[in-house]
Amino acid sequence: MIFGSVERLRETLVWVCERVPFYRERLAAAGVDPARVDPESLRRVPVLRKADLVQSQREQPPFGELLAVGREHFASLHTSPGPIFIPRIAEERGGTPALVEEIEAMGVRPGDIAHVTLNYHIMPGGLRIHRAFEESGCLVINGGVGNTEMQVKVARAWGATVYAGTPSFLRQIGVVAREMGLEPRRDLPYRLGFSTAEKLTPELRAELGEIFAIELFDHIGEAQIGPVAGECRAHQGMHLSKTDLLFEFLDPLSGEPAVPGGIGELVATHLGRRGLPLVRYAPGDAYRLLDGACPCGNAAPRVEFFGQVGAIRKIKGVLVHPIAVAELVGRFPGLGSCQLVVEHRKGESFERATLRVAVDDPALSEPERRAALATEVARAARGALLIGVDVELCTPADIPAAAAGPAFAEAIVERASGEGR
């Protein structure tokens, strides 16, 4: 699937190729004319990965070989882990237009008081969102991270109506507010929440709604490319941004264009003039592409974050990510770490998948309770993972430490019949 303006893509690539020899040579080698490029010919241009960007900047410090302008044109400089240096030119809005669209879709109004609790140090996220709320007519509190008691006092004093930050920190604000003798629903009048930088699970969304009476909107972005997608008031997936980027989604295994309902690795190209333009940049993130129209009327495709591409495995014909497995197990109190074992048994044409789950709660030691719990987990796995699994309950010591996130190195393992665990 591809989404974005092909006309703007052509304008951008013409501008980029005039100024960046790296891209001029890259497109020429692929036989692509930037003034006539279309989705099919664009796919001939090699993908640029985060490791390539890091290597380029290390070999030619500090900005590598992708700069489109001289330093005299820089307006600001962001840094992301790597480190990767991201210069911004004055005419570059830094993702702000896309964020303004998302903020308007949430129902934010001029005069709202936005409490931004993201990091303002080096990383671009906090400053990007701050600018967007200002452009939306809001008074912005630059809270930053930590200092929770002070954040509670400031949010209360100013009457903050919009929260922007991670959902876990919003929960911490609620906990600390109660420790201070306050009632969040009464004393912290958050009406809307811009949730980002962390996964907003259904359970956490419900808990925060109960604590604050707040409506939360999920958002996802990436430090180098900026905002990717945000939720509307229908809360049925995140709409891809209409500005700033051209999106491609490719099957993580075949490299062919993904289809609605499937899983696709994100490949993004900047639209418009950038200090450090990125063409066919793949940060390593995969998304589920939601099928059908959204009730809100926005025709932009909708996505859900699926996970890092390197950890994805195909099991029984279905793509599975360890994050989804861990989230499934996390629904059940008393269960801890887990590992999915895929066996290829001799003489059988299909794979067998066994979900091994550590039992942390001694109260679950009775055989009848364990059997019932295993059955319940297996039933839930079929709905969440779309595959059938056997469930084996075991001790925490039986699950290797490497099965845990964020690397998930041994979260999904494949074994031939007869191999030991």
pLDDT grade for 348, boundaries at 50, 70 and 90: low
What domain range includes position 340?
313-416
Residue 59: phi, psi to the nearest 5? -75, -30
C-alpha dihedral sign at 397, 371, 406, 125: negative
Whether 215 maps to a domain, the answer reads no
Q: How many CB atoms lie within 10 A of CB 41?
A: 15
Reported confidence tier of residue 299, pLDDT bands at 50, 70, 90? very high
Is 338 part of any domain?
yes
Per the domain annotation, does 115 fall within a domain?
no
Specify if 221 maps to a domain: no
Confirm if 116 and 124 have CB atoms less than 8 A apart: no
CATH of the domain at 368: 3.30.300.30
User: Is the per-residue pLDDT at 90 higher than 90?
Assistant: no
Asked whether residue 224 is domain-assigned, the answer is no
For the cut 80, the answer to whether the pLDDT of residue 419 exceeds it is no
Read off the pLDDT of each residue in 247-273 and give the average, rounded to a whole number: 94
pLDDT given at position 199: 84
Average pLDDT, rounded, for the chain: 92
Percentage of the chain beyond pLDDT 90 is 74
Q: What is the pLDDT of residues 17-72, one digit of tens each?
A: 999 999 999 999 999 999 999 999 999 999 999 899 999 999 999 999 999 999 99
Whether the predicted pLDDT of 417 surpasses 70 = no
181 assigned to some structural domain: no
Q: Which amino acid is at 93?
A: R
Task: Please write the tens of the pLDDT for every residue from 307-343.
Answer: 888 888 888 878 898 988 998 999 999 999 999 999 8
Domain assignment of residue 383, yes or no: yes
- Please tell me which residue, 56 or 120, carries the higher pLDDT value: 56
Structure token digits, residue 72: 């005299």
The answer, yes or no, to whether residue 421 has pLDDT greater than 60, is: no
Residue 133, phi-psi category: left (phi > 0), alpha (psi -120 to 50), beta (remainder): alpha
Looking at the 3D structure of the chain, how many domains does it have? 1
- Residue carrying the six token digits 């008031």: 233
Report whether pLDDT(137) > 90: yes
Task: Please report, for residues 128, 285, 314, 323, 370, the alpha-carbon distance to residue 326 in angstroms, rounded to integers and kept in the order given.
Answer: 31, 18, 17, 5, 19
Q: CB burial class (10 A; 0-12, 13-18, 19+) of residue 25?
A: exposed
Tell me, yes or no, whether 395 lies in a domain.
yes
Number of Cβ atoms within 10 Å of the Cβ of 153:
14
Per-residue pLDDT, 40: 95
- Residue 123 clears pLDDT 90, i.e. is over it: no
- Look up the pTM and report it: 0.82
How far is residue 252's CA from residue 101's CA, in Å, rounded to a whole number? 29
